[in-house]
Amino acid sequence: MATLTLRDLRKSYGPAHVIKGIDLDVLEREFVVFVGPSGCGKSTLLRMIAGLEDITSGELQIDGRRVNDVGPADRGLAMVFQSYALYPHMTVRQNMGFALRLARVPKAERDRKVNEAARILQLEPYLERRPKDLSGGQRQRVAIGRSIVRDPKVFLFDEPLSNLDAALRGQMRMELLRLHEDLNATMIYVTHDQVEAMTMADKIVVLQAGLVEQVGSPLELYHHPTNLFVAGFIGSPRMNLMPARVVEVTGSGVTVALPSGGQVTVPTSASGVRQGDTITLGVRPEGLHVDSAGQIAGEVKLVERLGGLTLLHVTSGVDLALTVQIEGSDATRAHETVHLSIDTAACHLFDKAGLALPRLVRHPMAA
């Protein structure tokens, strides 16, 4: 297993800058997820690590050795592609053994490794089939098997589950996690699916427009987003954002006035904001509660009942849209008027530049 170091990594296609200087350390046995909206450069970054794309500038190190100019064949990494990219003219056994065959590993050892990988992935009955005779989930497992067999320094995954249906995706997620544990492997995983990111990652790297927005554990990003982009991107349903005005700044927090009237004191440091500043208040859907004494009044426009959860889509004032998440099956109906209270411990404040004011108390789970 290996460590990976990215230093000011950049990629341009002519005048178009795609990756604009990325610094990152991937530790041994870490499961790192690159997440971001389409076109943020996450796949390009992964392909640069793989060696399939040139690095325009900056440095990429594997185990402390610079590998910018080392070809993909010699980096010792394995990649699982979104399209699986199995070799259609080879059987499952040949697909999984191809890398070993290229490395001139003796046949007996090759077979042993392929059989072992097939056992781990429950592919034993299919070893003599060709990819076209397999289902999507099986093909996916073959693609993973192909990388396991090689015992690579780092596993790279490029949106590997996005071609599977929802049920299979959930199952494969668990299998990948189990694999990560069993193999003690360093893995880098690209996805646009934040459920995958949240559930699998040791460390999430949020990318936007070729830059890192934030790096941290899933709960760190959830409870302590450093900026508006991460706050909005991580978490589903999205964080509610509303404009507010700073009323008072004290050592125990920042007091802001809500657009609907009323005030809340949010326990954040004041860094740079002054009384009278306009600021953005962020509160996650589970931080709003239906409460007859609440400060925010609004009309329920739509109710989404998920069984275990109920989502209320509330409009307050002229155009402030809020989402409220309630545990269980709530009885509130559309077009009712509700009052909402805010759980101040769950609030975030963002200054004009979109940067979060650091919260005074760290969430216990967000080490």
Does position 189 bind another protein by CB under 8 A?
Answer: no
d(CA 270, CA 259): 20
d(CA 215, CA 244): 28
Say how far residue 99 (Cα) sits from the centre of its chain: 30
Does position 188 bind another protein by CB under 8 A?
Answer: no
Does position 87 bind another protein by CB under 8 A?
Answer: yes
Does position 51 bind another protein by CB under 8 A?
Answer: yes
Angle at 55 between CA 74 and CA 83, to 5 degrees: 65
For residues 238-277, which are near another protein according to CB under 8 A? none
Does position 98 bind another protein by CB under 8 A?
Answer: yes
| In the complex, minimum distance from the CB of residue 39 to another protein, in angstroms, rounded to a whole number | 19
d(CA 51, CA 365): 36
Does position 350 bind another protein by CB under 8 A?
Answer: no
- Asked if residues 255 and 244 have their Cβ atoms less than 8 Å apart, the reply is no
d(CA 60, CA 6): 5
b/e string for 64-84 if b means 16 or more Cβ within 10 A?
Answer: eeebeeeeeeebbbbbbebeb
Between 141 and 284, CB nearer to another protein: 141
Which residue from 16, 89, 166, 293 is in contact with another protein, where contact means CB under 8 A? 89
Does position 344 bind another protein by CB under 8 A?
Answer: no
User: What is each CA distance from 10 to 25, 67, 76, 253, in whole angstroms?
Assistant: 15, 14, 22, 39
Does position 71 bind another protein by CB under 8 A?
Answer: yes
| In the complex, minimum distance from the CB of residue 97 to another protein, in angstroms, rounded to a whole number | 10
Would you mind telling me the total number of residues written for the chain in this entry?
367
Number of residues in contact with another protein, rule: CB under 8 A?
A: 23
d(CA 94, CA 246): 66
Does position 1 bind another protein by CB under 8 A?
Answer: no
Between 54 and 248, CB nearer to another protein: 54
For residues 109-128, which are near another protein according to CB under 8 A? none
For residues 128-147, which are near another protein according to CB under 8 A? 146
- Asked if residues 224 and 218 have their Cβ atoms less than 8 Å apart, the reply is no
Secondary element (H or E) of residue 5:
strand 4-13
Does position 85 bind another protein by CB under 8 A?
Answer: yes
| In the complex, minimum distance from the CB of residue 237 to another protein, in angstroms, rounded to a whole number | 34
| In the complex, minimum distance from the CB of residue 154 to another protein, in angstroms, rounded to a whole number | 11
Does position 27 bind another protein by CB under 8 A?
Answer: no
Backbone φ and ψ for 344, nearest 5 degrees, come out as: -65, -25
| In the complex, minimum distance from the CB of residue 44 to another protein, in angstroms, rounded to a whole number | 13
Does position 54 bind another protein by CB under 8 A?
Answer: no
Which residues on adjacent β-strands are paired with residue 13?
16
Residue 351: Cβ within 10 Å count: 18
Segment contacting another protein by CB under 8 A, of 75-83, 239-247, 290-298, 346-354: 75-83
Q: What are the residues binding another protein (CB under 8 A)?
A: 50-52, 71-74, 77-79, 81, 83, 85-89, 98-99, 102-103, 146, 150
